[in-house]
Amino acid sequence: GKWQGVVVDLFIIFGATGDLARNKLLPAILAYTRSCKGYIPLTVLGVGRRDLGDNGFRDFLTRHFRERGLLNNICRRFLREFVYYVGLGSGGPNDYRGLSKRVMEIEQGLGLSGNRVIYLALPPKTIPDVVEELVAAGVSRGSGWTRIVLEKPFGYDLSSSETLDALLHNYFKEDQIYRIDHYLGKETVQNLLFFRFSNVVFESLWNRDWIDNIQITVSEEIGVGSRAAYYDEIGALRDMVQNHLIQILTLVAMEMPTTFDAPSVRYEKVKVLRSIQPILPEDVVFGQYRGYTDEPGIPKDSKCETYSALKLEISNLRWQGVPFFLRTGKRLKRRVTRVDVVFRCTPRALFKPFDACSLRSNLLTITLQPDEGFDLFFDVKMPGQPIRLETQRLSFRYEEAFGELPDPYGTLIGDILAGDQTLFVSADEVRDSWRLFTPILEARPKVFPYEPGSNGPIEADELLSRFGRSWAGS
Ligand code: BG6
């Protein structure tokens, strides 16, 4: 029929009714298939503990997509023709054998390619058992290629991530393992490299001679929401800093790769990670928003951090002596992800006191979301007398230039199917990132309270004052 000769791969999603699958992954698959203009290159098999049949799962997704305003004709057709479900019950070997059988039936029945993506949208602690079981039952041995996708955090700390890695490498080669950090799927995050390495004007200033400090902020308005069970064991350092913020940092700080491909890009990122000096516990601030312990499912005595700020240094020729300040938190004043590159003051203040080096000028703010764009702040003379300087800006906004940006998960799904690992995290990156953060987790920094809707705990401001700096834009 219509699909003959077309390569359709099977996308097996573990945790198919969970938060991540429902809210991010499945909508992205839907958007991705839509962007393929009617040609749908994948069939979804949801796997979960709930006892739903194919139709039960389709109804579940129909309700969810309707609530989100995504339910159009393409979506209905997608759900009807390309979505299946297997309930895993208690998850014993028999259940997994049943799954394996179903996978083969679907592949044969629909004439699929035999290529399988196994996407584990699961809490980190459940992953080792699931991997063992699915491998034992043969789910990972199709007639085509198999790729396995893991969500961050990869492990829980250095030793658990090494154990997980060893387990995966028992059964999969590194080029089959896709560690997702959805920040790398964001156009604006990828653009950090393109912007740096295709414009000499900024790259020539991109070092310790001209940059005073760099700040990376990922602030969220949302709280823990319905994710208590996941979040309270994880906290902000594992949920955001160890992966998303560190990925942004490596792209901001890395050297130009020899070529633009996965091995070269990952190699340069690892070099940055290995050049970061051990982070001192006193340079880390943890916070928890007031009311967190009243959220549904959160223990009353939880010490989980919902905010984290820290200072680190990269010891190499380019960055020696330049502090990097990172911060992220939930229930803050507004949702914004940005990189502030704070340039040095002029060596001599000719127009004193008018050009008292302020934080507002000599600043490049790269906004990764929302309102994606660049703002370069600089001082100009106001017309007339007496002499006065005023900060002005040059601005660029993605939306004005390009309209809506593609969904990061959609981009990454396309890369998984195409076998391109450039935007995925390597085993080395994961290990070196945990090597940095595990001592902090073990030191258990004090957790300071902060008001919901604020900029986080005051102690994070004091952290910067200690280094004679302050947060840009505050
Ligand atoms: C996820 C974290 O990886 O990223 C969430 O687990 C967080 O806690 C989310 O809310 C933020 O992603 P985005 O794309 O909304 O910035």
Which residue has better confidence, 253 or 69?
253
The atom number, within ligand 1, closest to the CA of 369 reads 16
Catalytic residues: 244
CA of 397 to the centre of ligand 1 (A): 22
Q: pLDDT tens digits for 180-208?
A: 999 999 999 999 999 999 999 999 999 99
Question: Residue 108: what pLDDT?
Answer: 94
Rounded to whole angstroms, the Cα distance separating 289 from 236 reads 12
DSSP 157-213: SHHHHHHHHHHHHHH--GGGEEEE-GGGGSHHHHHHHHHHHT-HHHHTT-STTTEEE
Rounded to whole angstroms, the Cα distance separating 417 from 8 reads 10
- Whose alpha carbon is nearest atom 6 of ligand 1? 239
Q: In terms of DSSP H, where are the helices of 208-261?
A: 228-236, 246-253
Average pLDDT over residues 231-254: 96
Question: Residue 286: what pLDDT?
Answer: 98
Q: Is the CB of residue 268 below 6 angstroms from any atom belonging to ligand 1? A: no
Question: Residue 2: what pLDDT?
Answer: 47
pTM of the model: 0.92
On whether the CB atoms of residues 48 and 16 are closer than 8 A, the answer is yes
How far from 237 is each of 275, 284, 305, CA to CA, in Å? Answer: 20, 10, 8
Which residue has better confidence, 44 or 69?
44
| DSSP 8-state assignment for residue 125 | G
Question: Residue 69: what pLDDT?
Answer: 85
- For 12-41, b/e burial (b = at least 16 CB within 10 A) is bbbbbbbebbbebbbbbbbbbbeeeeeebb
Q: Is the CB of residue 232 below 6 angstroms from any atom belonging to ligand 1? A: no
CA of 428 to the centre of ligand 1 (A): 23
CA of 239 to the centre of ligand 1 (A): 8
Q: Is the CB of residue 107 below 6 angstroms from any atom belonging to ligand 1? A: no
Average pLDDT over residues 311-330: 98
pLDDT exceeds 50 at position 337: yes
- Whose alpha carbon is nearest atom 15 of ligand 1? 220
On whether the CB atoms of residues 15 and 121 are closer than 8 A, the answer is yes
Question: Residue 301: what pLDDT?
Answer: 96
CA of 441 to the centre of ligand 1 (A): 20
Question: Residue 1: what pLDDT?
Answer: 40
Beta bridge partners of 48: 87
Collapsing DSSP to helix, strand or coil, 15 comes out as coil
Rounded to whole angstroms, the Cα distance separating 120 from 456 reads 33
In the numeric block, the tokens 């009311």 are attached to: 291
Which residue has better confidence, 12 or 357?
12
Question: Residue 27: what pLDDT?
Answer: 87
DSSP 289-304: ETTGGGSTT--TT---
> How far from chain centre, in Å, is Cα 266?
16
Beta bridge partners of 337: 218, 369
Question: Residue 351: what pLDDT?
Answer: 75
In the numeric block, the tokens 């789910």 are attached to: 139
The atom number, within ligand 1, closest to the CA of 218 reads 16
What is the identity of the amino acid at 51?
Answer: D
Rounded to whole angstroms, the Cα distance separating 474 from 470 reads 8
Average pLDDT over residues 382-386: 88
How far from 125 is each of 18, 92, 153, CA to CA, in Å? Answer: 15, 17, 10
Q: Is the CB of residue 239 below 6 angstroms from any atom belonging to ligand 1? A: yes
- Cβ neighbors of 18 (< 8 A, separation 6 or more) are 48, 121, 122
Collapsing DSSP to helix, strand or coil, 242 comes out as helix
The atom number, within ligand 1, closest to the CA of 183 reads 14
Instruction: Mark residue 371 as left, alpha or beta (left: phi above 0; alpha: psi -120 to 50; beta: remaining).
Output: left
- Cβ neighbors of 73 (< 8 A, separation 6 or more) are none
Q: In terms of DSSP H, where are the helices of 17-82?
A: 19-20, 26-35, 54-67, 73-82
Which residue has better confidence, 404 or 270?
270
State the average pLDDT for the chain.
92
Rounded to whole angstroms, the Cα distance separating 394 from 306 reads 34
CA of 374 to the centre of ligand 1 (A): 22
Of 190, 318, 176, 166, the residue nearest 255 (C-alpha) = 318
What is the percent of the chain where pLDDT is above 70? Answer: 95
Q: Count CB neighbours of 106 within 10 A.
A: 17
Q: Is the CB of residue 133 below 6 angstroms from any atom belonging to ligand 1? A: no
Which residue has better confidence, 430 or 387?
430
Q: pLDDT tens digits for 431-458?
A: 999 999 999 999 999 999 999 999 999 9
Average pLDDT over residues 252-257: 97
Rounded to whole angstroms, the Cα distance separating 51 from 87 reads 5
The tokens for 276 are 């970061």
Question: Residue 359: what pLDDT?
Answer: 59
Of 139, 134, 130, 110, the residue nearest 42 (C-alpha) = 110
Probe ligand 1: pick from 184, 232, 240, max atoms within 8 Å of CB? 240
Q: In terms of DSSP H, where are the helices of 281-425?
A: 398-402, 408-418
Helix-helix angle 408-418:26-35, to 10 degrees: 70
Average pLDDT over residues 382-400: 91
- Whose alpha carbon is nearest atom 13 of ligand 1? 183
Q: Is the CB of residue 151 below 6 angstroms from any atom belonging to ligand 1? A: no
Probe ligand 1: pick from 19, 179, 182, max atoms within 8 Å of CB? 182
The tokens for 450 are 């902060």
Rounded to whole angstroms, the Cα distance separating 90 from 92 reads 6
The atom number, within ligand 1, closest to the CA of 335 reads 16
- Whose alpha carbon is nearest atom 5 of ligand 1? 239
The atom number, within ligand 1, closest to the CA of 231 reads 8
Question: Residue 389: what pLDDT?
Answer: 85
The atom number, within ligand 1, closest to the CA of 234 reads 6
Q: Is the CB of residue 355 below 6 angstroms from any atom belonging to ligand 1? A: no
Return the H-helix or E-strand segment holding 461. helix 458-466
